[in-house]
Structure 1
Amino acid sequence: MKQQRKAPALSLLLWYLLLSGIHGPITAKSVTFYVTNKCQFPIWPGTASNTGLPLVAGGGFLLVPGQTKRMQASPSWKGRIWARTSCDFTKTVPPACETGDCAGKLACNGSIGLPPATLVEFSLEPDRTQPSFYDVTLVDGYNLPVAVSPSKGGKPQLPSNCTINGCARSLTSVSNCPPELQVVSTERGEVVACKSACLAFNLDVFCCRNEYGTPEKCRPSTYSRLFKDACPSYFSYAYDGAPSTPLRSCSSDEYAIIFCPSSWAADA
């Protein structure tokens, strides 16, 4: 399977790291992610580490409604986490999942999820006196809402500058996702994901590349504004940074990642 285009938002994480001037002693303590499913249906979260870094939670697992998975990451882990939906791993030909599929496997083992899928991106800093960086991006599209925050014992801690809220409304609603962006289930006839304009049309003006490869040239579109209105805390396109960047820079030993947070917003 051809791998998904790497979301430009992750390159922004690396850019911020280069500017951060990392110094001081390194604290080699692992980081704990608490991944919770508050959707009314099962999901299969997937994880993909950057090249050369160890897998987290085997690359993928099942979460039934209400279940939380505790997983450990190396102190300098960098990668992405997303949710897959409507999976059937008995299929002999991929995809096994309607959204977010990774080569038809339960354990992604480094494979990147098939877009469109809402992506949580992390770039952890082992020195806890320095911030880690994380974001949620819709650069390749949306399948589920997710909230992210530092936590203690799995309970989200909600300082406003470290929290990524969920969405104000679902982008899988036919009224919120334009027909040209919709991904429709062949079995149920329902919208199960919403493509980004870049994924749908593959045009430089939407993908922020070539002559549009700078923040000055790549501006918000009608489609990215639609995404931003629905999910204001997420990257809606590659150079999304107004009025404030969706990138978070906070230090913690634990993070809570909640799919389908209550009321389509931050989960208190």
Structure 2
Amino acid sequence: MKLPQLVAAFFLFLASHFLLSAGSAAATKITYYVHNKCSFPIWPATASNTGYQVIADGGFYLPPGQTQRIYTPLTWSGRIWARTGCNFNASVNPACETGDCGGQLACKGLIGTPPATLVEISVQEDKGKPSYYDVSLVDGYNIPVFVSSKQLSPSCTIRGCSKNVNSLCPQETQVLNKNGQVVACKSACLAFDLDKFCCRNEYGSPGKCKPSVYSKIFKDACPSYYSFAFDTPPPLVNCASREYVITFCPSGDMAHSSI
């Protein structure tokens, strides 16, 4: 075989090896396409449940209109949320107006400070068990989010909100930024720390813990989300996929920001 043919064969081998390696890697991971459709930057963050690895360093910057892919193993459990109004270049504490994780860009396992809209995920693709996900406002809300498998299907979709929760938030549960804008809305549990709102102790069952005037505000605006701990029917999606889409501000700018 002549030298040019050897060189061509070598590069063909490398290309084939790369494609096989890439295909093998894709087969051992689940991909999440994280979109930012807000008119302001966000800092998506992740926190793994106990025993699962940290993904995407726990957090990253995402400008308006941009998408970033992140990956989990085939078995993973944790949460994803968006931080807003962040400034990591100054000695400001907290660094973010909502969802802050110890003032760090990369949360590296730290759970964000509520209130923040939470995407909760449990995937078990390599175990042949069901995968679940939901969006929770049990601790409160900051911005809306849409979640689905990449192949859009009604049974795999959690839609965003029909109303801006922050504009409806009662004064006693509002979170304000330094400019006096409402940037998040606490749940009644987070705001008042009462058993009847937190569904604990004597209220720790579906029969005893009922929707409150506060959770009904969440439910009216975001019917596909958990509005309180014993929301019925449970807005939990069971949909197996290797690719999911998470879109913050799916209908455009539905939250205020000082950025």
1:159 counterpart = 2:153: yes
1:225 counterpart = 2:219: no
Residues 38 and 253 of structure 2 are in contact (CA less than 8 Å); yes or no, is this contact kept in structure 1?
no
Instruction: Give the aligned partner of residue 187 of structure 2.
Output: 196
- Partners of 1:84 and 1:208 lie apart in 2 by 27
- Partners of 1:103 and 1:93 lie apart in 2 by 11
How far residue 189 of structure 1 moved from its aligned partner, in angstroms, is: 1.1
Residues 168 and 264 of structure 1 are in contact (CA less than 8 Å); yes or no, is this contact kept in structure 2?
no
How far residue 91 of structure 1 moved from its aligned partner, in angstroms, is: 2.9
How far residue 245 of structure 1 moved from its aligned partner, in angstroms, is: 2.1
How far residue 125 of structure 1 moved from its aligned partner, in angstroms, is: 1.1
1:140-194 superposed Cα distances (whole Å, 9 cap, x missing partner):
000000000000xxxxx33212100000111111xx11101111112x2110000
Residues 38 and 252 of structure 2 are in contact (CA less than 8 Å); yes or no, is this contact kept in structure 1?
no
Q: Secondary structure at the match of 2:84?
A: strand
1:106-165 superposed Cα distances (whole Å, 9 cap, x missing partner):
0001100000000000000124754200000000000000000000xxxxx332121000
1:181 counterpart = 2:180: no
Letter paired with 1:161 = S
- Partners of 1:126 and 1:165 lie apart in 2 by 23
RMSD over aligned CA atoms reads 1.5
Instruction: Give the aligned partner of residue 247 of structure 1.
Output: 236
- Partners of 1:49 and 1:148 lie apart in 2 by 18
The correspondence of residues 73-92 of structure 1 with structure 2, limited to 5 A, is 73-92=72-91
1:186-233 superposed Cα distances (whole Å, 9 cap, x missing partner):
2x2110000000000000000000000001100111111111000000
- Partners of 1:64 and 1:128 lie apart in 2 by 36
Residues 167 and 264 of structure 1 are in contact (CA less than 8 Å); yes or no, is this contact kept in structure 2?
no
Residues 29 and 126 of structure 1 are in contact (CA less than 8 Å); yes or no, is this contact kept in structure 2?
no
- Partners of 1:75 and 1:159 lie apart in 2 by 21
The correspondence of residues 130-141 of structure 1 with structure 2, limited to 5 A, is 130-141=129-140
1:20-42 superposed Cα distances (whole Å, 9 cap, x missing partner):
xxxxxxxx721101100000000
Instruction: Give the aligned partner of residue 100 of structure 1.
Output: 99
Residues 125 and 240 of structure 2 are in contact (CA less than 8 Å); yes or no, is this contact kept in structure 1?
no
Bigger Cα Rg: 2
Unaligned runs of 5+ in 2: 1-26, 255-259
1:113 counterpart = 2:105: no
Letter paired with 2:243 = E
How far residue 51 of structure 1 moved from its aligned partner, in angstroms, is: 1.6
Match of 2:200 among 184, 209, 212: 209
- Partners of 2:93 and 2:45 lie apart in 1 by 16
Instruction: Give the aligned partner of residue 10 of structure 2.
Output: none
How far residue 263 of structure 1 moved from its aligned partner, in angstroms, is: 6.1
- Provide the aligned length of Structure 1 versus Structure 2: 228
Residues 39 and 252 of structure 2 are in contact (CA less than 8 Å); yes or no, is this contact kept in structure 1?
no
Q: Secondary structure at the match of 1:112?
A: coil
Instruction: Calculate the TM-score normalised by the size of structure 2.
Output: 0.85
**Percent identity between the two aligned chains:** 62
